[in-house]
Structure formats: C-alpha cells, structure tokens
Amino acid sequence: MDIALPEMGDSAGALVSPLEEYQVGQSFYWSLQQSVTLVDDPEVNSYINSLGYRLVTNSDDPTRSFTFFVVPDTSVNAFAAPGGFIGINTGLMLTSESESELASVLAHEIAHVTQRHILRSFERSKRMSVPMTAAMIAAALLGVADPSAGSAAIMAVQAGNVQMQLDYSRAHESEADNLGMQTLVNAGFDPNAMPRFFERLQIAGRFYGGSQIPEFLRTHPITGSRIADARGRAANLEPQRQVRDTKKFYLMREKLRVMSTKNMRELIKTYEDTLKEASSEDQSATHYGYALALLKNSNYTQARDEINTLIDSDDNQLSYHLALADIEIALGRIDAALAIYEDFQRIYPDDWALSIKQVQALLRSNQARQAIPILQRQLDVGESSAVLYRLLAQAYGDLGQKSKSHVWLAEHYHSSGQLMQAADQLRIAADYARGDEFELAKISSRLRQVETDIAMMEEVR
C-alpha cells in the first residue's frame, strides 16, 4: 500500500542546482570534521552504510548518493545535510531497542534529503548567493552536531542581518514521516517501530528540562498528534517482506557502548550482572560486548575465552573472528591475526572492515607490498574514505614511493576537510614527481581542483 503524500512542490530547485546542493552539504561535512572526530571504526561504519543504503534503495529516490557517518556523541540525535550527508549520534544507536527503530529514524532523515527540506527552509533567502546559503545551512547544522562549533558560525552569518531557522516545519516533518514510513515498510522493517520510538523519546523528554532536552526533540518536535498519525499509518501497512533484526545491529550497538563508556570497570560489572540473570533470550550480543570490554581493560585471556565460546556457537559470525584477531594483536601475535584475516577473505572477499583491519596488521608487520592490492581493491569496488587514503599514504611511504604517498595523504586531508594541507601535500608530491611528466600532469590537475575547493570554502566563510 502506498502512502498518499501532500503536494509540496519543489521551489527549492530555484535556489540551488543539484551540484550546488552537494557542495553545500560537502562544505558542512568538511566543517564538521574540523570540530568533531568522527567514529572511524570500520565495522561500525560498514554496518551503518549497509543499513543506510538498504533504506535508500527502497526510498523515493533510490539512485541518489548518500554519505552516512557516526558522531561520537551520547545524545540522542540524527541530522541530514543537503547532498545526502546524514549523521547518526552514537546515543541514537544506544537508545534504539531494535534495528527497526534505528532504521525508522534513518528513513526519516533520508526523506528530509530527498525532499530537499533544508533548502526549502531557506527559500526566503533565495536572493542570497549560494556561498551565503551554504554558510547559513552549514552553521545551523553545525549547531546541531556541536553547539559550541555552530554558535560562532551562526553569529557570523547573522552579523549580516540574515535571520535563519533550522527547525523543520510541521509540513516537512509530516512529509518525512510519510515517506520514511513507506521506505521503512519497503525495506522490510516493522512500521510500528517509528511511533514506538517517537513515543519513548517523548516520554524521556518529560524528564529533561530546558537545555537538557534531547537535540532530536528540538529539531524534530514530537507531539501526541504526530505519534497518533504514525500509529495510524503503521496500522494500515504491512511490510512487503518481513525481515528480522540482524544480529549485526545488536553486536555493533554493544561495540559502540564499549567505545563510548567512560567507566570500563563499571561496564564490565554491568555485563557480568546481566549475564548472571537467568534468561531464555539470546545473550550473544551481551557476551560480545563483555569480551570487548575485557579486551579494552587488558583482560586478554578472559576476553579470548569469551570470544572463543561465541565462535563455538556461531563460527560464521565475522565480528567474533575480528574481535579474536584484535585480541591476538594485543597479545603481540600479529601472525595469528593475519591468519584469521586471510581465512575469512576467502569467505567474505572484499569486506570493508575485514580488509581495513587486515591492512592495518600488514602495515604493523612491515608488509606494505601485500597491503596495497587489498586497498586498491577497495578503491575498485567504489569505497572511499579518509581512512583508506591514509593507509594508502602509509603503505606507499613504507615502500619509499614518496610522490604516491603524498598524493594519497593529500586525498586523506581533502576527504577530512583540511584543504590547505591537501594542497601542500600535492605540491610536495609534485616535487618528487619531477621527471615523470604523466604523473606530474595528474598531480597538477588535482591541485587545481583542490584550489577551486579552497576558493569555494573561502567564499562560504
């Protein structure tokens, strides 16, 4: 059953072109990385991208490109920038009780992007230049992701007597709920997860006061009528294919819990208490989190015992074997870890997390030549990230190929929004490439592109 959507129109198209829209989002993403260190765990990012694109392919715009990333912030929030940049706070994943609940928020944010809601919110400023529009949106979104970072930027923009408003209109929220619900159902998730999660957030919000209200409630106000509408839509919908929550969701939720805790001993005690309780429920995710917490607390032997028990019960779960490899590396047994990676490349060829961890171990054991084909394969299958570029720079540097090393280091900086450093690395690469006309031409062309990006960002500022 399709959901009838209100006729909203898209006059935002008169404000910026699709290319300019992407540039607005990218400028925000670059700026964000200057104030926040994003989660770079390859397993967590691989999971979020897999979930995100599962929803995108079932959305109203399945061919649009998206960039999903995780912000290490325990507050419950998610936010979308023009051009398909969607951030998920760790707190959102830790608060979600099921994969369908997490998916419901992501589907909602995807709808904000496909319907260009943020650009519509700025239609009143359509007479401004694109750089100024980019500055307004980036400043507002930075305020969502990091209030201290956003406030200065917002003040700078408002100094030009421009009023701004980030909060989505009621019509935009309704449209995102409608589209998000349809996407959720098309992807096989439980449609009741959306009103259930909204209701729990609304109840939790009553216990906060003033500035303590979760950011998601500030930018996506949840009312009783909105929850009732979501319940009504869910009651009239049945998933086209009911899919159970993946175990990966529960494993990655525990991994984030371990990564974000400030008191490891207390968390270990919590895990131990939970595991002592007699329960018929599957506690494999709890055992997994317990093992990771023990590893982080340097209890290597106990951590390995926990992981081996999990492997005995489910030998095909890659996360368990990657955790075992982490334990072997912590014990100084890199060869044992490399053997694990090699075995599982046969079962899960080109898996992102597996490949990145294998490369990191290869570089630690001075095997850069073996690492490069694995990294190149990730490029061939369309992967790109600051982590990948940094590892390529390190590998070529270890082999003494200085020009290539600096080229990839430039890509690392560019992907991270450090544009001036990227340009500097390309100039150094050009010095090392003297005598190789073809390589020098490629570097010079890339340098011109980066300098164009620098000029654009200077305009935005």
pLDDT, tens digit, 9 for 90 and up, residues 249-275:
999 999 999 999 999 999 999 999 999
Burial of 225 (0-12, 13-18, 19+ CB in 10 A): exposed
DSSP secondary structure, 133-200, as one string: HHHHHHHHHHHHH-HHHHHHHHHHHHTTT-----SPPHHHHHHHHHHHHHHHHHTT--TTHHHHHHHH
Residue 160 scores a pLDDT above 50: no
Long-range Cβ pairs for the range 308-316 (8 Å, 24+): 310/284, 313/284, 314/284, 316/347
- Looking at residue 210, what is its pLDDT? 46
The answer to whether 220 touches 180, Cβ cutoff 8 Å, is no
DSSP run (H or E) holding 67:
strand 67-71
Residues 6+ apart with CB under 8 A from 203: none
172 is in an annotated binding site: no
Residue 11 scores a pLDDT above 60: no
User: What is the mean pLDDT of the segment spanning 97-125?
Assistant: 84
Residue 50 CA neighbour count, 13 Å, CB half: 14
User: What is the mean pLDDT of the segment spanning 88-115?
Assistant: 94
Q: Give the whole-angstrom CA distance, residue 296 versus residue 264.
A: 8
Q: Give the whole-angstrom CA distance, residue 379 versus residue 374.
A: 9
Q: Which of 221-235, 279-293, 410-424, 431-445 has the lowest mean pLDDT?
A: 221-235
Q: Which of 52-66, 93-107, 194-208, 297-311 has the lowest mean pLDDT?
A: 194-208
Residue 458 CA neighbour count, 13 Å, CB half: 8
Q: Give the whole-angstrom CA distance, residue 20 versus residue 130.
A: 7
The answer to whether residue 109 is catalytic is yes
Q: Give the whole-angstrom CA distance, residue 67 versus residue 330.
A: 32
The answer to whether 426 touches 443, Cβ cutoff 8 Å, is yes
Residue 137 scores a pLDDT above 90: no
Taking the domains of the chain in order of start, what are their residue ranges?
A: 11-235
pLDDT tens across 117-128, in order? 777 666 555 555
412 is in an annotated binding site: no
Q: Give the whole-angstrom CA distance, residue 217 versus residue 201.
A: 8
The answer to whether 349 touches 334, Cβ cutoff 8 Å, is no
Residue 321 CA neighbour count, 13 Å, CB half: 21
User: What is the mean pLDDT of the segment spanning 5-31?
Assistant: 67
If you average pLDDT over every residue of the chain, what do you get?
84
Q: In which band, very low, low, confident or very high, does the pLDDT at 187 lie, cut at 50, 70 and 90?
A: very high
- Looking at residue 334, what is its pLDDT? 97
108 is in an annotated binding site: yes
Sign of the dihedral through C-alpha 417, 421, 424, 430:
negative
Residues 6+ apart with CB under 8 A from 432: 402, 403, 406
More confident: 280 or 288: 288
CB atoms within 10 A of CB 414: 22
Return the ∠ at Cα 315 (arms to 314 and 318), rounded to 5°.
Answer: 100
Q: In which band, very low, low, confident or very high, does the pLDDT at 129 lie, cut at 50, 70 and 90?
A: low
The answer to whether residue 177 is catalytic is yes
Helix, strand, or coil (residue 58): coil
Catalytic residue among 177, 215, 328, 453: 177
